[in-house]
Structure 1
Amino acid sequence: MFFMAKLHQPPVQELYAMILSHVQERISLSPDEQQFFCSLLKARQLLPRQYLVQEGEICRFESYVCRGLLRSFYLDREGNDHTLHFAMEDWWISDSASFIRQLPASRHVVALEPSIVLQLDKPSLELLYKEVPAFERFWRILHENATIAQDQRILNSITMTGAERYAEFLQKYPGIAARMPQKYIASYLGISSVFLSRIRGGVRKK
Structure 2
Amino acid sequence: MTLILENIAKQITLSAEEQVLFLSKIEVKQFKAKTILQQSGTVCKNSYFVNSGILRSFNINDNIVEYIMSFACSGWWISDMYSLLSQKPGNLFIEVLEDAEVVVLSKENQEILYREIPKLERFFRILIENSLVANQERLMGNLSLSAEERFEKFQNKYQDLQYRIPQKQIASFIGVTPEFFSKMKSRILKK
Same fold (TM over 0.5): yes
Please point out which of 6, 12, 15 is paired with 1:30.
Answer: 15
Please point out which of 125, 142, 145 is paired with 1:157.
Answer: 142
Q: Distance in 2 between matches of 1:42 and 1:105?
A: 23
- Shift, 1:191, TM fit: 0.9
Question: What TM-score, normalized to structure 2?
Answer: 0.96
1:96 counterpart = 2:81: yes
Identity value in percent: 35
1:28-85 CA-to-partner distances (Å, cap 9, x unmatched) read 1111001100000011111111111111222211110001001111111111111111
Give the number of equivalent residue pairs.
191
Q: Distance in 2 between matches of 1:202 and 1:28?
A: 48
Q: Distance in 2 between matches of 1:21 and 1:167?
A: 29
Equivalent positions of 1:157-196 (< 5 A) are 157-196=142-181
The corresponding residue for 1:127 is: 112
Q: Distance in 1 between matches of 2:83 and 2:162?
A: 29
Unmatched 5+ stretches in structure 2: none
1:72 counterpart = 2:57: yes
Q: Distance in 2 between matches of 1:190 and 1:164?
A: 12
Q: Distance in 1 between matches of 2:180 and 2:131?
A: 28
The corresponding residue for 2:33 is: 48
1:87 counterpart = 2:72: yes
Unmatched 5+ stretches in structure 1: 1-15
1:131-150 CA-to-partner distances (Å, cap 9, x unmatched) read 11111110111011111111
Please point out which of 112, 115, 123 is paired with 2:100.
Answer: 115
Aligned-residue CA RMSD (Å) = 1.0
The amino acid across from 1:52 in the alignment is: L
- Shift, 1:20, TM fit: 0.3
Q: Distance in 2 between matches of 1:160 and 1:58?
A: 34
Question: What TM-score, normalized to structure 1?
Answer: 0.90
